[in-house]
């Protein structure tokens, strides 16, 4: 997917798959099919997050969801499609919040471009804040993204879901760092993404390395350190010899 205008300062109106409005019966309640679909998504998110995509079958997911295997096939068709919908469900929420945060940063900056720190914060905070607050369902989602982020299959399945957000922030960084070559901005975005995934993975390694001084679950502290770290690296790209 290519950005049509690399430096356009506008919020994309499309790109992510549209949310489907909940179907309702004649009494105004959510239909049974919608409840079943949600149960399968919740179960798949937990199972994929704990065992990985290849470590769990559709049958296991439907057993956890308490529904027949045929219903998973009916609603999603394949396990690949189910994975894509699991990612897309929360990616839509994060995308909307990131875009709102970026637009707020633009309004605060006035005629100037937002600072690199403001752009990085707008990207990181919407997702990491949900982990900090312990909101239900978000840790399994973070585990899943952390496991699959480097998989070509995963990026192929979810590119149309995740790429619009990525390109929007890449364009914002190009505006904020006009002297940095475009290819360096793209690499810089990948370094930003990789740092975020490392924080979300919460492997416990930092406890061992720091002898308990740092905690994997202390995402608030990680976010506080991550923003200046990534921002400094992005700004340094402009000073690096070519």
The verdict on 139 and 59 lying in the same domain is no
Rg (CA), the chain: 20
Residue 4 above 80 pLDDT?
A: no
Structure confidence at residue 31 as a pLDDT band (50, 70, 90): low
Report the percentage of the chain scoring pLDDT > 90: 65
52 backbone φψ class: left, alpha, beta (φ>0; ψ -120 to 50): left
The verdict on 187 and 132 lying in the same domain is yes
Q: Tell whether 84 is covered by a domain.
A: no
Residue 203 above 70 pLDDT?
A: yes
Q: Tokens 């607050």 correspond to what residue?
A: 133
pLDDT at position 147: 81
pLDDT at position 228: 97
Residue 20 above 70 pLDDT?
A: no
pLDDT at position 235: 95
What is the pTM assigned to this prediction?
0.81
71 backbone φψ class: left, alpha, beta (φ>0; ψ -120 to 50): alpha
Q: List 24's β-bridge partners, or say none.
A: 30
Angle between helices 79-109 and 58-65 (to 10 degrees): 70
Residue 79 above 70 pLDDT?
A: yes
Report the percentage of the chain scoring pLDDT > 70: 85
pLDDT at position 22: 42
The verdict on 129 and 225 lying in the same domain is yes
Alpha carbons 232 and 234: distance in angstroms, whole number: 5
Q: What is the pLDDT averaged over residues 112-118?
A: 96
pLDDT at position 1: 41
The verdict on 69 and 122 lying in the same domain is no
CB 172 within 8 A of CB 102: yes
Question: C-alpha distances in angstroms, 219 versus 87, 212, 214?
Answer: 21, 15, 10
The verdict on 162 and 49 lying in the same domain is no
Q: What is the pLDDT averaged over residues 48-61?
A: 90
CB 143 within 8 A of CB 73: no
CATH of the domain at 107: 1.10.357.10
The domain boundary, picked from 77, 97, 112, lies at 77
Length of the chain, in residues = 242
Range of the domain at 143: 89-236
Report the number of secondary-structure helices (H) and strands (E) in the chain. Answer: 10, 0
pLDDT in tens, 162-186: 899 999 999 999 999 999 999 999 9
Q: What is the pLDDT averaged over residues 69-80?
A: 93
User: If you average pLDDT over every residue of the chain, what do you get?
Assistant: 85
Residue 24 sits at φ, ψ, to 5 deg, of -130, 150
The verdict on 155 and 93 lying in the same domain is yes
Q: What is the pLDDT averaged over residues 91-109?
A: 95
pLDDT at position 101: 97
Question: C-alpha distances in angstroms, 195 versus 74, 149, 185, 199, 227?
Answer: 38, 12, 15, 6, 10
Domain count, the chain: 2
Residue 131 above 80 pLDDT?
A: yes
Q: Tell whether 18 is covered by a domain.
A: no
Angle between helices 32-51 and 69-76 (to 10 degrees): 100
Q: What is the pLDDT averaged over residues 8-30?
A: 43
């Amino acid at each position: 997917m290519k950005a049509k205008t690399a430096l356009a300062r506008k919020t994309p109106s499309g790109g992510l798959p549209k949310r489907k409005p909940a179907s309702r019966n004649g009494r105004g309640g959510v239909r049974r099919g919608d409840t079943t679909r949600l149960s399968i998504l919740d179960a798949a998110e937990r199972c994929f997050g704990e065992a990985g995509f290849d470590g769990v079958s559709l049958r296991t997911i439907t057993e956890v969801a308490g529904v027949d295997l045929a219903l998973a096939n009916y609603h999603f068709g394949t396990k690949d499609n189910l994975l894509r919908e699991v990612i897309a469900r929360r990616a839509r929420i994060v995308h909307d919040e990131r875009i709102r945060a970026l637009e707020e940063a633009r309004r605060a900056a006035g005629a100037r471009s937002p600072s690199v720190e403001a752009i990085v914060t707008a990207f990181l905070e919407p997702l990491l804040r949900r982990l900090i607050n312990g909101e239900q369902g978000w840790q399994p989602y973070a585990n899943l993204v952390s496991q699959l982020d480097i998989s070509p299959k995963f990026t192929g399945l979810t590119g149309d879901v995740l790429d619009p957000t990525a390109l929007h922030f890449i364009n914002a960084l190009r505006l904020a760092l006009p002297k940095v070559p475009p290819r360096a901005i793209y690499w810089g975005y990948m370094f930003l993404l990789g740092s975020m995934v490392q924080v979300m993975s919460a492997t416990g390694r930092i406890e061992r390395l720091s002898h308990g001084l740092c905690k994997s679950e202390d995402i608030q502290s990680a976010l506080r350190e991550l923003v200046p770290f990534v921002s400094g690296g992005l700004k340094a790209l402009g000073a690096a010899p070519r």
